[in-house]
Structure 1
Amino acid sequence: MVLDGVTIRATPYRWRDPTSIPVRPWVYGRWFLRGTVACLIAPGGVGKSTLIAGTALAMASGDPLLGKTVWDGPKRVWLWNLEDDLDELSRSIQAAAIHHDIAASVLNDKLFVDSGMEGMALCTATETNGQFKLLVPVYEALSAELVRRGIDVLIVDPFVSSHEVEENANSKIDKIAKAWGRVAKAANCVIILVHHTSKAGSSEVTAMSARGAVALINAARTALVINRMDEKQAERLGIPDNERRRYIMVQDDKHNRAPAEKADWYRLASVDLGNGGGGNILPGDNMAVVEPWSLPDPFENVTSRHIAEVQARVAVGAWRQSPQAKDWVGHVVADVLGLNASDKADKARICALMKAWIENDKLRIEQMPDSKREMRPFVVVGEPVKL
């Protein structure tokens, strides 16, 4: 059709053999895809920088250090941090290398690190007297260097420090994000923009918790969010509150809003860099590193014979549902499985098993009179287990 001198024509679809369609060029698990922009969103103090260091090391080494596959071998990774100096970045990287037993030779010039605090500033757009300007030469220079070095992954941390534009202006942030997308396409790499959350965000971090314009999240293919284990989860798992902060959950909030049980969990371990000295010299630095962690499975090593034994003991006694009762049925479960009903973690596991068995009708709840003739919920045998 021609309208006002403009011609627009629809293109008929050409049928293709599905087996001939190229596979999506994944770089790292199902998080990072070549030719696209990804965002990592987190509040301060949850382990964002620690996760970035571990992830960069995993991709550069080619090893699934954090449980994610590095497709087609080691990658060239460029970490460009605009907040921390090189000493601080080195602390995180070397701590991760110590923890995961990565030698310098393994990286083999695969890792590149620059710091805005050391003179390597980055500005991709400006706004002066209301005039927005996309610094095209900067993007072109970035593309050229990415291609020259054969960089597979560029991490820019944080995004807010990479431009001088009002971060709530959707139309302007959209132009910046789209320019980053063009760089990713031109260099055939992944660009990860690390982003902070809004102070007004909810306690649970989602993609919508990101500070500033939503245009950045809309332009990204992946929006990873980091959440620390909450109090209810810790209590349910029997994890002490002073240890709860060590556990973080990462998930793609844009394409894979999975429940906590299906998300990627990590634990923050501690590594001593060994850079301290004796006498009155300051102690060495102890750095956090991330390691893969899974939510405990209450049914691990629990067999049908264990359930049958619990049913047999419940059948010949009077056992209460309440964990506060002296004759709590959890004591039976603990005895059969060799657990300690007084231990917080074991008690949490017992409660999880009881909940599942009641839902599966292996055990049932019935209202019965106690020793004082008051009606209380007791646990009785449900459908017998077949051995």
Structure 2
Amino acid sequence: MPSLSASPYRAKDPAKIGAREFLAVPAFQRKQLSLTVANGGVGKSSLCVAEAVTMASGEYLSSGIKCDIRVWLVNVEDDIDEIDRRIQAVKDNYFINDEMLKGKLFVNSVVRPQVSIASSSKEGTKVQTTTVDQFVKQIHDNKIDLVFIDPFVATHSVSENDNMAIDEVARQWIEIARKTNCAVHIVHHARKVDGGEVDAESARGAVSLHDACRYMRTLNRIKSEQNVKQGFLANQNIVKIDIRKSNYSKLEDSSYIELASCTIANGDEVGYVLPVERSARPASPKSSPKSSTNPTGSVAAQAAASATDLQILTQVAGSQVVREDDTHKDWLGNRAAKVLGKDKIKDRQWLIDAVNICLSQGMIIVTTSSNTRGPKFNRLIPTPSSP
């Protein structure tokens, strides 16, 4: 063991002190361990898959926040086919192609022994140095910036209620992050809360995991009867994300995702998540899309766009964060094209006209995004019901 000697303080130019390195958002910071905690079926794994895929593609969850990083998704619960299904659902709904992910996204479905970095022995907690070294080597060799581990319980075989043992497991993940200058994000289960809300104290097992992390968020499903009161549509499946701990960045307000599903090319119905925002009072109710030259749409489009088509457009505007700008990939017409049975390119004018009809008939309105992290933008939402 190297000897320890006290180091005298050496003043530095404050402008040259190393800045904290966040990867797009505060949840992911180089050299640090962060944590997502939720009960089963609330979308914690789906959220992390969406974050991994979109960040690898260059933009965090269609927020406008750009990033140029390599991401490694390590899953110990699902087989590779299921992970591929989830990734495909994200690609389909965030308009991500394979070229955007080439050399940026790394995916492994593994069994427990491959990721277990600590075990219990008669002498106490035994660190599996071979596993730790393998993680360090793979992260170094592939220049990984962000690692997702899902779930935490699969990365050890110690008692999850043993504070000292869990602290050692967490410290090993922190050491991996520091040695490789990457961010490590852990997905963890919550203990049973008997219908209550998962909070900072709800992580299953020893509290030392929460203590070792520098950032923690929890996911809670909003009851359907509360949707309208909280600014959402009644039929949306909404999950609230709360930041419970943020040592190196300010605590942000709650954010929201919707649990959605789609049919991928093999015929499977697969879940994914989309960021959503509470409906806001319209910033400019009379606004119309930038591309619009005929606010009411062409006669042909009005004939072709049925009442059902217009209702679908309105529903998509209510269930997803969609933009007014028809040049953006998240424009309402692009988002709704698949469910309408339209081609985003061949049927572009039809989609433009149909969106304009919805605007002219007052079915949807323009409002300003309340996104606090990314740049403001005009979005389309269903016209709020009169009180």
Select 1:134's aligned residue among 127, 132, 156.
127
Select 2:45's aligned residue among 30, 49, 55.
49
For the pair 1:58 / 2:54, whether they are aligned, the reply is: yes
How far the C-alpha of 1:186 sits from its partner, in A, is 0.2
For the pair 1:194 / 2:190, whether they are aligned, the reply is: no
2:242 matched to which residue of 1?
251
2:144 matched to which residue of 1?
151
How far the C-alpha of 1:8 sits from its partner, in A, is 6.0
2:20 matched to which residue of 1?
24
Query: In 1, Cα distance between the equivalents of 2:87 and 2:4?
Result: 55
For the pair 1:182 / 2:175, whether they are aligned, the reply is: yes
How far the C-alpha of 1:202 sits from its partner, in A, is 5.8
Query: In 1, Cα distance between the equivalents of 2:58 and 2:74?
Result: 20
Select 1:78's aligned residue among 67, 72, 77.
72
Deviation string, structure 1 residues 142-196 (Cα, Å, up to 9, x no partner): 1111101111111110000111000000011111111110110000101111100
Matches within 5 A, 1:344-383: 346-347=384-385, 350=387
For residue 146 of structure 1, give the secondary structure of its aligned residue in structure 2.
helix
For residue 201 of structure 2, give the secondary structure of its aligned residue in structure 1.
helix
Select 2:221's aligned residue among 216, 220, 228.
228
Matches within 5 A, 1:117-132: 117=111, 121-129=114-122, 131-132=124-125
TM-score using structure 2 length:
0.68
Matched-pair contact (CA < 8 Å) for 1:202–1:209: no
How far the C-alpha of 1:103 sits from its partner, in A, is 0.8
For the pair 1:92 / 2:86, whether they are aligned, the reply is: yes
How far the C-alpha of 1:42 sits from its partner, in A, is 1.1
Partner AA of 2:73 in structure 1: L
Select 2:270's aligned residue among 287, 292, 307.
287
How far the C-alpha of 1:121 sits from its partner, in A, is 3.2
1:320 matched to which residue of 2?
none
Matched-pair contact (CA < 8 Å) for 2:125–2:168: no
For the pair 1:298 / 2:281, whether they are aligned, the reply is: yes
Deviation string, structure 1 residues 244-300 (Cα, Å, up to 9, x no partner): 4x2122232102554xxx32222223221021xxxxxxxx21112222211111354
How far the C-alpha of 1:129 sits from its partner, in A, is 4.8
Matched-pair contact (CA < 8 Å) for 1:50–1:289: yes
For the pair 1:272 / 2:266, whether they are aligned, the reply is: no
1:38 matched to which residue of 2?
34
TM-score using structure 1 length:
0.68
Report which stretch shifted further, 131-140 or 230-239. 230-239
Partner AA of 1:183 in structure 2: I
Query: In 1, Cα distance between the equivalents of 2:46 and 2:143?
Result: 25
Query: In 1, Cα distance between the equivalents of 2:4 and 2:103?
Result: 50
Query: In 2, Cα distance between the equivalents of 1:7 and 1:152?
Result: 31
C-alpha change, 1:63 and 1:10, in structure 2 (3 Å) is closer
How far the C-alpha of 1:113 sits from its partner, in A, is 1.1
Query: In 2, Cα distance between the equivalents of 1:70 and 1:252?
Result: 21
Matched-pair contact (CA < 8 Å) for 2:125–2:158: yes
2:65 matched to which residue of 1?
69
Partner AA of 1:141 in structure 2: Q
Larger Rg: 1
Query: In 2, Cα distance between the equivalents of 1:285 and 1:146?
Result: 33
Matched-pair contact (CA < 8 Å) for 1:82–1:161: yes
Query: In 1, Cα distance between the equivalents of 2:193 and 2:149?
Result: 24
Matched-pair contact (CA < 8 Å) for 2:219–2:242: yes
1:308 matched to which residue of 2?
none
Partner AA of 1:273 in structure 2: I
Query: In 2, Cα distance between the equivalents of 1:63 and 1:203?
Result: 34
For residue 41 of structure 2, give the secondary structure of its aligned residue in structure 1.
coil
How far the C-alpha of 1:31 sits from its partner, in A, is 1.6
C-alpha change, 1:180 and 1:238, in structure 2 (3 Å) is closer
Partner AA of 1:247 in structure 2: I
C-alpha change, 1:211 and 1:27, in structure 2 (3 Å) is same
For residue 227 of structure 2, give the secondary structure of its aligned residue in structure 1.
helix
Q: Which runs of 5+ in 2 are unaligned?
A: 287-361, 364-381
Matched-pair contact (CA < 8 Å) for 2:33–2:173: yes
How far the C-alpha of 1:11 sits from its partner, in A, is 2.6
2:8 matched to which residue of 1?
11
Matched-pair contact (CA < 8 Å) for 2:232–2:278: no
Matched pairs, number: 291
For residue 207 of structure 1, give the secondary structure of its aligned residue in structure 2.
coil
For residue 253 of structure 1, give the secondary structure of its aligned residue in structure 2.
strand
Query: In 2, Cα distance between the equivalents of 1:220 and 1:68?
Result: 27
